[in-house]
Chain A
Amino acid sequence: MSGTAKISAAPTSLPAGAIAASLRNACVKFGSFTAIDGISIDIEEGQFYTILGPSGCGKSTMLRLVSDLIPAASGDVTIFGKSTEEARLAREFAFVFQDATLLPWRSALKNVELPLEIGRRRGVPIPVGDKTPRELLDLVGLSGREDALPHELSGGMRQRVAIARALVCHPKLLLMDEPFGALDEMTRDHLNLQLLRIWKETGVTILFVTHSIPEAVFLGQKVLMLQAHPGRLREVVDIDLPSPRTIEQRDTPEFTRYSAYLRKLLETC
């Protein structure tokens, strides 16, 4: 059994940066089952958060709560001061699924353009960034493959198309649910580096769910450790490693220390 001490993790000192997302005692229930039992946290703008926790701790549920895919049973969730629904309608956030979820009949470029087509006929204002879909494919390293259909691309490439698609409406918050979970180690390392580069270039706030401790340490400025039964926020661990991160950093004692600490923490969750 995990500890039942409820650690409310409101940040001790408010940072200068704005708050991208704010959860206040948020609970999610599926019938009588409590998936998330009172999570409170402020997600600071521009930061890279990774979310770790044992299976069933509500990692994905937390992302789905923030992205307005599921409602909160109680408590409050806001994104840049708006309700999750308002933020969804304003395309303030984008979501990257574990499976790339590309439409198989659309080329890579057409898949990236999909968010721009949705709502256009209805006159919905669609935010666009400073990068065109083509430039976004270039940003994720897929220039030259614009016309390829998803089945002609590798798993890693498909996931990169999904990332480009997520960026096309210039979101301020990027929610990623184990996006590299199904990829092999080499591809994952490569995409981790690319994602960090994209994060630096776009300044987007990222919430990234993973079940890999090294990935959580390598990517995150902060690691949110969740605990299961019921799903609660156990601890926020600041990762104070030099930036830009490199693959070689993984062999440093500091990196190992963070990994070891998180592993021990995970065992008690």
Chain B
Amino acid sequence: MTAVDNIPTAEEPIGSERMEARRTRSVAIAIPVMTAAALIALWQIGVKLFDVPTYIAPAPSDIAYTLVDKFPILLMNFWPTFYESVLGFFVGNIAAILIAVAFVHSRMVERAFFPIAVFINTIPILAIAPILVLIFGPGLTAKVVIAALICFFPTLVNMVRGLQAVSPQALELARILSASKAEIFWKIRLPSSLPFLFSALKIAATTCVIGAIVGEWVGADVGLGALIIDATFNFNSPLLYATVFMSSGLSVVLFATVSTIERLVVRW
């Protein structure tokens, strides 16, 4: 009787299988790309065919032209929004994580502060933004705070759940090993909360951009939000659409970054 019963099998001749997998993957990418291309083509044809005025709905070609032509202006307004979003992302999420740890550590703290956190979350961000601009002034700080605020609640709720999502048996194992509270936190609770944390961070990666833009609407002369307001009031629809495209591009970049980090960290 041998003890070893599961030696990983050596490389089998699976060349065809791997090619099959690669083909499946390229089809999975091609289908949405082609669908999007077809919809854009339809839009282009529709606008030209029905002679829709540019200020109502610009053709994709007009937007593409503006995107290239006004790229320096777009980029100049992209960076402030980028900094506000990323700073807000870090501030909001770090605050949420620390408060979640405090909540899990002490039920008293949770009872005291969770209702307040819920209340703040129920205030529409558009209503609270002017207040924050009044408090922090028209500079960077107000936008960072608004972006942080919008990230805060989903991360808080998910992180609390994640820290509590430890199996009772894992805690019994910790007890049998006479683990300290700190050891349970660092070796069991924190790692097991990571999948929950990353779910929240992926939400935050897109909402922090919304927060920054809303902040810029209320009061700013640079940033994608300011540019959106500016282009709207000037009926410069191609610039408006190009700005919207840049904003959504920023969200996509942040989301992709968080997703990549998640794949590297959460391997289980």
In the complex, the answer to whether A103 meets B1 with C-beta atoms within 8 Å is: no
Determine which of A114, A122, A144 lies in contact with B177 in the assembled complex, contact meaning CB atoms within 8 Å: A114
The A-B contact count (CB < 8 A) is: 80
Determine which of A94, A103, A104 lies in contact with B176 in the assembled complex, contact meaning CB atoms within 8 Å: A94
- What distance in Å separates the Cβ of B141 from its nearest Cβ neighbour in chain A? 37
What 0/1 pattern do residues 228 to 268 of B give for CB contact below 8 A with A?
00000000000000000000000000000000000000111
Q: Does A141 contact B (CB under 8 A)?
A: yes
In the complex, the answer to whether B191 meets A88 with C-beta atoms within 8 Å is: no
Determine which of B6, B169, B177, B267 lies in contact with A145 in the assembled complex, contact meaning CB atoms within 8 Å: B6
- Where chain B touches its partner, the secondary structure class is loop
Q: Does A69 contact B (CB under 8 A)?
A: yes
The contact size tier of chain A is 35 or more
- What distance in Å separates the Cβ of A160 from its nearest Cβ neighbour in chain B? 9
In the complex, the answer to whether A101 meets B169 with C-beta atoms within 8 Å is: yes
Q: Which of A25-33, A150-158, A202-210 contacts B (4 or more CB under 8 A)?
A: A150-158
**B-side contacts of A99, CB under 8 Å:** 167, 169
> How many residues on chain B are close to A (CB under 8 Å)?
29
- Where chain A touches its partner, the secondary structure class is loop
Q: Does A131 contact B (CB under 8 A)?
A: no
Which residues of chain B (141-180) have a CB below 8 Å from chain A?
A: 167, 169-170, 172-180
**A-side contacts of B5, CB under 8 Å:** 141, 190
In the complex, the answer to whether A118 meets B179 with C-beta atoms within 8 Å is: yes
**B-side contacts of A88, CB under 8 Å:** 175-176, 178
CB nearest neighbor in B for A149: B268
Determine which of B4, B169, B172, B183 lies in contact with A141 in the assembled complex, contact meaning CB atoms within 8 Å: B4
Q: Does A14 contact B (CB under 8 A)?
A: no
Q: Does A227 contact B (CB under 8 A)?
A: no
**B-side contacts of A149, CB under 8 Å:** 267-268
Whole-angstrom CA separation of A240 from B183 in the bound complex: 45
CB nearest neighbor in B for A154: B6
Q: List 5 A-B residue pairs with CB atoms under 8 Å apart, sorted by A's residue number.
A: A69-B176, A101-B172, A104-B192, A119-B180, A141-B3
Residues of B within 8 A of A (CB): 1-8, 167, 169-170, 172-180, 183, 187-188, 191-192, 194, 266-268
